[in-house]
Amino acid sequence: MSLTARGLTRAFGRHTAVAHADVTLTPGRVTGLVGPNGAGKTTLLLMLAGLLAPDSGTLELEGAPVESVALRRAVGWMPDVFGTWDSLTATEILSTFGRLHGLSTQDARARAADLLQQVHLDDRADRPAHELSRGQKQRLGFARALVHRPRILLLDEPASGMDPRSRVELRDEVRRLADSGCTVLVSSHILTELSEMVDDVLVMTDGRTRESAPATERSWRLREVGRPASSADILHFPDEEAAARHLRTVVDSGVLVAEFARVDSELEDAYLALDADRT
């Protein structure tokens, strides 16, 4: 299911959070949303999720204008903070959301059980949410976004607070969902992990979306056999072909190369190319 936004704007009093946003999300692809703090990313996600009305602009689902209620039915939304009833158990939270999405009581509880097992929280199914750690709440929030089997998934800093194993599992699950046809948009500042799951990059700064600036050069790490990792050379090349030619020259000269790999990523290139200040 494709989701398209054109010319979205949203202001809060005198503050313009989103000045102009164009977004095209397509099935089977994971889009990474990057930008500095205060760029308007969360406000944009709320509008795409049908939870915040834009001041102007259009939203289309499968090429047709869509109302917020229909959008909420199609979208799975995971905010960066869990934000639900801490006194309820994990099972009760997921079951309640299942009921809100039209599942029967029995189907909602069955769906909750499946999701808790999927995010490795089945051993905490009957624990109130306030007893869960930050990372566990994030995993529960991810499960909550999947309750109604959405065809579009919007994730705002989903890996925040997760341990390394949970982050790897989240990345693999997001990739699996996209491969099964889901449309995914992920906003995150963890660029190294985001780069391993995304197909496209959407850059946002000063409330506006824009195309990422092409990188003028990329960094590569070269370490010879016997040298410690801390003494590896960081080299810069305009493209992969130039890097490959340099590696061939080094190897032909008799140097034993233990490591030669990209240091940065396209997402890092896109982010560092922004002219926005740190915020």
Q: Which of 193, 210, 227 is the last residue of a domain?
A: 210
Q: Does some domain include residue 241? A: yes
Based on the domain organization, do 27 and 81 belong to the same domain? yes
d(CA 97, CA 94): 5
Kindly report the pTM of this predicted structure: 0.81
Distances (CA, A) of 76 to 192, 246, 261, 267: 24, 46, 36, 24
Give the model's pLDDT for residue 275.
57
Query: Which residues constitute the domain of residue 223?
Result: 218-272
Based on the domain organization, do 12 and 148 belong to the same domain? yes
Q: Which of 188, 210, 232 is the last residue of a domain?
A: 210
SS3 143: helix
SS3 20: strand
Q: Report the number of distinct structural domains present in the chain.
A: 2
CB-neighbour burial class of residue 226 (10 A; exposed 0-12, middle 13-18, buried 19+): exposed
Based on the domain organization, do 116 and 230 belong to the same domain? no
Q: What is the mean pLDDT of the chain?
A: 90
Spatial contact of 21 and 204, defined as CB atoms under 8 Å apart: yes
Based on the domain organization, do 131 and 264 belong to the same domain? no
Based on the domain organization, do 201 and 239 belong to the same domain? no
Distance in Å from the first CA to the final CA of the chain: 35
Q: Does some domain include residue 240? A: yes
Q: Does some domain include residue 83? A: yes
Give the model's pLDDT for residue 53.
95
Based on the domain organization, do 66 and 168 belong to the same domain? yes
Give the model's pLDDT for residue 72.
92
Q: Does some domain include residue 279? A: no
Give me the CATH number covering residue 91. 3.40.50.300
Give the model's pLDDT for residue 270.
65
Based on the domain organization, do 73 and 162 belong to the same domain? yes
Q: Does some domain include residue 193? A: yes
Spatial contact of 171 and 193, defined as CB atoms under 8 Å apart: yes
Based on the domain organization, do 148 and 227 belong to the same domain? no
Q: Does some domain include residue 277? A: no
Low-confidence ranges of the chain (pLDDT < 70): 212-216, 264-267, 269-270, 272-279
Q: Does some domain include residue 278? A: no
Distances (CA, A) of 231 to 131, 218, 222, 234, 254: 45, 19, 9, 9, 19
DSSP state for residue 159 in the 8-state scheme: T
Based on the domain organization, do 205 and 233 belong to the same domain? no
Q: Which of 189, 210, 231 is the last residue of a domain?
A: 210
Give the model's pLDDT for residue 269.
66
Distances (CA, A) of 95 to 42, 98, 106, 115, 187: 26, 5, 9, 10, 27
Based on the domain organization, do 180 and 260 belong to the same domain? no
Based on the domain organization, do 142 and 257 belong to the same domain? no
How far is C-alpha 254 from the chain's CA centre?
43
Q: Does some domain include residue 232? A: yes
Based on the domain organization, do 204 and 222 belong to the same domain? no
